[in-house]
Structure formats: structure tokens, C-alpha cells
Amino acid sequence: MEKKIGKNVSSGAEKVETLEKETAKKSATGGQKTKKSAAAKSAAPKKDRVAEQMERARAEENAAAEARFEAAKARAAKKEAARMQRANKKQAQMQAKLKAKEKRMEKLAEERSERAARHARKAARREMIAAESAAEKKQRLAREKRERTARKKQQEAERAAAIQAREEERRAAQEKRAAAREKKKTARAEKRSGKKRAPGIGGWIAAVVSLGAACLALATVVTAGSIRMNQMAALSENAYRATLFELVSVSEEMDDNLAKLRVSAGAGEQRMLLTEILVDSELMESALEKIPVDSATSTDISSFVNRTNAFARRMLAKLSRGEQLTQEERSAAARLYEVNAALVRELNDLAVNTPAGELRAFFEGKTEMRSRFAEWGKEANKKPQEITDAPFAGEGNVGENGVDKENEVSVAGAEERVRAFFEGYHVADVKLTGETAARDMQCYNFTVTDENGLEIFAQVTKKGGDVAFFNSYEACTVKNFDLAGCDAIAREFLAARGYEDLTATWFSDTGMVACITYVSETDGVRCYPDMVQVRVCEEKGRVVGMDARGYLLNHENGGRVFEAPLSEGAARGKLAEGLEVTASHLAIVPVGRRETLCYEFSCKYGEEEYIIYLDARTGEEVRIFRVHESARGNYLS
């Protein structure tokens, strides 16, 4: 007997086919077994029922398949949403970690910067203390004591004000709570009585008594408050004056140190003074933060303090390399001294002559006295009105000292040289006023007086007897000669005194005096160490000043190289992009205590002008000057 095994079908179509086969088989079998029954029934109804069953099965199976498909699609969408959610969460975590890391790095950088600043201040202070004398130490200790006293007074005033503020807040809170309790008590009493009754004579008496007690309490509170406010005002005023006296003390210290630096010639003394100035500028910056001025004025004053700080740092670095301060740097120190002196005058006037009430109003920002600080701030932040020296002016000797090769002349011989030099100036008297021992030369100092009583100060080298410097103090008020005419006058004056083969490299017009800088030129190469600066009065058309110290020291230097290993085109290619070259020359310039052959490029960058020097051997930048314009001429920085 054949064993029947059921079949597992996976699709509706297969099920329908199976059902059809089974139905057909049953129909055939049934026809054989029950021929009587098949004959009784018709074939048409049987076919309809089979078709109906097949259609119903097909519809059910299609619906089930569609449901399975939708369920699978929903599961896939849910899975994708969960995956995206995990990815977004992970990205958010990574961004949070990155931000946290950036904050940590910024904090570490700030801490390192603060540590570096503290170390620099400590190093400067140690250097200052190591170099100071007994008198300077005593002065420093006294200043530090004043500063500590001022800070202590200010801290005490701030603590007292904070305590008073807390006490006032506590008392106000107590009064507020008492008023609330009284209001609640009255409300409960009215609620119990059921209605508000009109007060009788007893109520009137109670009201009068209550009013009197309230007035007495108010008078007590006002009196106590007035006393406390007076105390607070006194403490605040003391704090204001402590701040002001602190600033006065620091500015006076800086004034003293800048004044000494102007006349100091020794590297050790200069180093000590610059260290003091560096410390003073730090203290002044801290003290200025407590002065209530507008942001523009604060920026102007802080700019001056920062310039002074930067100048002290640069000069200390230069002295540490064994170099010496140039005449230009001494002039910069003199300008800083003049600006600081104006601040000292303003602060002393404010501290001594200002009434207490007006001073308090100034510190509270309620007075126009701040305009004085604003004007001073503008003056402090102005560009120097005097023309800065030409490129590489005041560098001194950078090779063999040409003056030391000469023979020494006597005072009489030097006087004779002076009279010959000023021939045509109608000299009436020549008087020796002393000697000057500069870094690279020793000079006799003479005062030359003409027939009109006009004095000229002149310096003559002890070796060689050459006039190295002179200056006349006559006034020039009318412009009768232009720069070209003054150039011709200066060239004629120099040629008559043996200065030849000179090229004018820098012109400026300070008032009614033309300042012209000349350097020697050999084979088209400008030699900046061989410098002569001439001042010509534009009213009278004569030379009123000359500085030939650089020329006398360096003109005889041997071994100079005038051929450049690097071509001009190659050097020009080393310049930064965006620079427009307007002129170029080969030039020998002083770098430290030696001479370097360079390409000199006059350039424009937009509206600004620069003078750039590149090493003619390597193409590296040696020096960059920026040209500034002012009402009284151009100057360099």
C-alpha cells in the first residue's frame, strides 16, 4: 500500500494547484465508487464551488503575503532608525569630547601664558634687585611699603563696604518679613470679626500712638543710615585716594628712571634703569585699570604704557647681546620721558588740588574731569612730531675706527680748525666749554658766537681735529627755499669742507628747516655707515646743523665688497607677494658691529610705503622700515 505524505507548500499558487489536483482526484475516485451519486448531481455547481474556494484561498494567501512584507519593511525601518540614533548619539559624544578637549587646551595655554608672564616678572625683579645699590634698595622698599599700605587700605574699604551691604540687605529682609506678618495678623483679625468696624476714640488714640512710634523708628533708622553712609563714603574716598597715590608713586618712579636713562652712558646702569622701567610699566598698567575713564582713553594710555614696556624689553635684549644704545634709541627714551612727565603733572594736580567731593565724583564717573585724562591720552598716543633719523642713523662705528688712526690735536689747533670750518659765518668768538668722551671718539666742545650774538655748539674730534657735529639755535620762520634749493646749498657746503661723492637718501622738512641725509656712494653702492646729516634753514638758506660722526668713523673702512653674489632679480623674487617695488639699489648697511652688502628696495603695499633690505648673498631679510607721513614730514618706524 502506498504511503501518503503531506506536502508543505510555501506560496498560495502552489496551494491552489495542490487543491485543484486533489479535488480532481477526488472527483475521479468518487465517480468510480458512486456512479449513482455522480449521475444525480450536475457538473456545473461543482465547478463553481471549486473556483470559489480557489479564489478565496488565493485572496487569503495574498493578504498574508502583503502583511508579511509590510511587517518586514517596518522592522527594517525601525532597525535603520535605531542605527541612526546610535550614530547621532556617538557623534554628539565625540563633539562633546572635542569641545571639552579644546577647553582644556585653552585653559592649559592660558595657564602657561600666565606662568611665563610671572616668570618674566620674577626674572626682571631678580635682575633689578641684583643690580641695585643700597640707596636704590631703600627707595624700592619704601615704594613697595607704600603700595602694600595702599592695597591694604583698599581691601579694608572693600570688606567694610561688603559687610555694610550685607547688613543693609539683612535689615531690609527683616523689615519685609515683619510687614508681611503684620499684614497677615490684620487680615486674620478682620476675618474673625466678620466686618470692618469704624474706629472709635480708642482706635484713634491707638493710631496716633502707632504713628508716633513709626516716626520715631523712621528717624532712628534714617539717622543710623546717614551715619553708616558717611562712614562708607569716607572709606570709599580713602580707597580712591589710595588708588590715585599708587598711580602717582609708580609714574614718579618711571619719570625718575626715564630721566636717568636719557643721560646714562654705561651698559650696567642702563640695564638697571631699563629693568626698573619694565617693572614700573607693569605696575602702572595694573593701577590704570582702577581709573574710571572711557574705553578710548584707557586704550590710549595703555598703548603708551605698552610701548614703554616693549621698548624696555627690546633695549634689555640688545644690551644682553653686548650691543649699545644708539642715538635714535636715546631719542626714543627722551620722548617716552616727555609723555610720562605730562602724566605725572596731571596726576599730582589731581591728587593735591582736587576737592574730596570732586575726586569722589571723578572716580564714580560723574564729572567732566575725565576729559583731562582723555586729552592726555590722545597726546600720549600721538605719533612723534619730530622726524626720526634716516635708515641706520646713529649706528656708530661698525668697522675699523677711522678717527683713532689720526693724530691728536691740541685745544689751540682744534680752535683754529673751528674758525676755518665756520668761515663765512662772521665768527666773533670761540670758547672751549669742555670735552666729551663718547663711545667711539673723544671731542672738544666749543661755543661759537657770531657778530649778532647767535651761538653755535660744535664738537671737534681730539684725534684729527674734524668738526663732527654742530647745531645752531637760530629761529627759522619763513619758507624761502624748497628742498631742492636746500639740497644744493648743503652739497656746496659739504664739498667746500672735503665731503665728496655723496648721495642724498632721505629728505624731511621739520617746520622751516630741511633735514637731508647723505651717504657715500662707490660704484653705485650706497654706504650707509658713511653718513652725514645736514640741516638747512629754509628762511636764510644756510646750513644750521651737521652730524658727520658716522662718516668720520667709517669712511676709511677697507675690505668692502661691492659685488653681489645674488642677482637683483633673484633678490626681488624673495620679496613678499603684493609688494610693488618703486626703486632698488645696492647698499652697505650696518648690522650689529659689522657691514653687510644688501639690496635696498623701496616698496609700496597698497597705500603704505616700506624700505626693505635683503642680504645680497642669501636673500634673507636684514631690516624693514615703515615710512609714516605726518604734518611735519616723513618718519620711520
CATH number at residue 620: 3.10.450
Q: Which residue has the higher pLDDT, 587 or 349?
A: 587
Query: Band of the pLDDT at 36, cuts 50, 70, 90?
Result: low
Closest CA to 466 of 558, 559, 550, 588: 550
* Domain interval for residue 66: 59-120
Q: ∠ at Cα 197 (195, 202), nearest 5°? A: 145
User: CA–CA distance from 157 to each of 164, 231, 232, 236, 286 (Å)?
Assistant: 10, 10, 8, 6, 19
- Write the DSSP assignment of 110-131 as a string of letters: HHHHHHHHHHHHHHHHHHHHHH
Task: Looking at the structure, tell me whether residues 161 and 232 fall in a common domain.
Answer: yes
93 Cβ neighbours under 8 A, 6+ residues apart: none
Q: Which of 46-50, 255-259, 308-312, 413-417 has the lowest mean pLDDT?
A: 46-50
Name the range with the highest mean pLDDT among 58-62, 241-245, 508-512: 58-62
Contact 459/468 with Cβ under 8 angstroms?
yes
| pLDDT beyond 70 at 444 | yes
Domain boundary among 81, 98, 120: 120
CA distance 419 to 465: 12
Q: How far apart are CA 616 and CA 517, in angstroms?
A: 23
CA distance 483 to 633: 12
- 20 falls within a domain: no
If asked whether residues 545 and 573 sit together in one domain, one would say no
At 393, is the pLDDT very low, low, confident or very high (cuts 50, 70, 90)?
Answer: confident
216 assigned to some structural domain:
yes
d(CA 466, CA 546): 12
More confident residue, 515 or 633: 515
Residue with cell 465547478: 47
Say whether both 92 and 227 belong to one domain.
Answer: no
- Across the chain, what does the average pLDDT equal? 77
Determine the pLDDT at residue 296.
Answer: 47
Across the range 16-21, mean pLDDT stands at: 61
Nearest to 406 by CA among 445, 457, 460: 460
Orientation of helix 43-131 relative to helix 267-288, angle to 10°? 130
Cα angle 261-265-268, degrees, rounded to a multiple of 5: 80
Q: Which of 498, 529, 554 is the last residue of a domain?
A: 554
pTM score, whole prediction: 0.46
427 with 535, same domain: the answer is yes
400's grid cell: 675699523
Residues 227 and 101 grouped into a single domain: no
Residue 358 resides in a domain: yes
Residue 257: predicted pLDDT: 85
Residue 169 sits in the same domain as residue 275 = yes
* Residues in CB range of 624: below 8 A, 6 or more apart: 610, 611, 612, 613
Grid cell locating 225: 543710615
Kindly indicate the confidence band of residue 399, based on its pLDDT and cuts at 50, 70 and 90: confident
Q: Domain for residue 203, yes or no?
A: no
Q: Give me the number of domains the chain comprises.
A: 4
pLDDT band at 10 (very low <50, low <70, confident <90, very high): very low
345 vs 22, which has greater pLDDT? 345
Same domain, 456 and 548: yes
Same domain, 535 and 591: no
- For the chain, percent of residues with pLDDT exceeding 70: 72
Lowest-pLDDT choice from 175-179, 362-366, 419-423, 562-566: 362-366
**Contact between 624 and 611 (Cβ < 8 Å):** yes
Q: Please report the pLDDT score of residue 5 as a whole number.
A: 46
Q: Are residues 75 and 166 in the same domain?
A: no
* pLDDT tens for each residue of 77-116: 888 888 888 888 888 888 888 888 888 888 887 787 777 7
Helices (H) and strands (E) in the chain, counts: 14, 13
* One domain for residues 295 and 439: no
Split at pLDDT 50, 70, 90, the class of 15 is: low
Q: State the pLDDT confidence band at 364, using cuts at 50, 70 and 90.
A: low
Closest CA to 259 of 268, 269, 267: 269
What DSSP line would sit under 271-321, residue for residue?
HHHHHHHHHHHHHHHHHHTTS---HHHHHHHHHHHHHHHHHHHHHHHHHHT
Indicate if the pLDDT at residue 447 is higher than 60. yes
CA distance 50 to 31: 16
| Whether residue 153 sits in one domain with residue 113 | no
pLDDT exceeds 60 at position 208: no
Residue 600 lies in a domain: yes
Model pLDDT, residue 488:
94
* Range of weakest confidence among 120-134, 148-162, 344-358, 371-385: 371-385
pLDDT at position 496 is: 92
What size, in residues, is the chain? 637
In a domain, 421, yes or no: yes
Using CA atoms in the order 482, 483, 488, 490, what is the torsion angle rounded to 10 degrees? 120
Domain stop point among 327, 358, 380: 380
Any idea which of 85-94, 272-281, 382-391, 396-405 has the lowest mean pLDDT? 382-391
Domain-embedded: residue 137: yes
SS3 for 38?
helix
Average pLDDT (278-293) is 72
The CA-to-CA distance between both ends of the chain, in Å, stands at: 120
Q: Residue 561: what pLDDT?
A: 81
Residue 42 in domain: no
Does 312 share its domain with 246? yes
- Choose from 105-109, 271-275, 324-328, 528-532 the range with maximum mean pLDDT: 528-532
Q: What is the mean pLDDT of residues 440-460?
A: 89
Quick: pLDDT tens for 215-273. Answer: 655 555 555 455 555 555 555 555 666 666 777 778 888 888 888 887 677 777 888 88
pLDDT in tens, 581-623: 999 999 999 887 788 999 999 999 988 899 999 999 999 998 8
pLDDT band at 330 (very low <50, low <70, confident <90, very high): confident
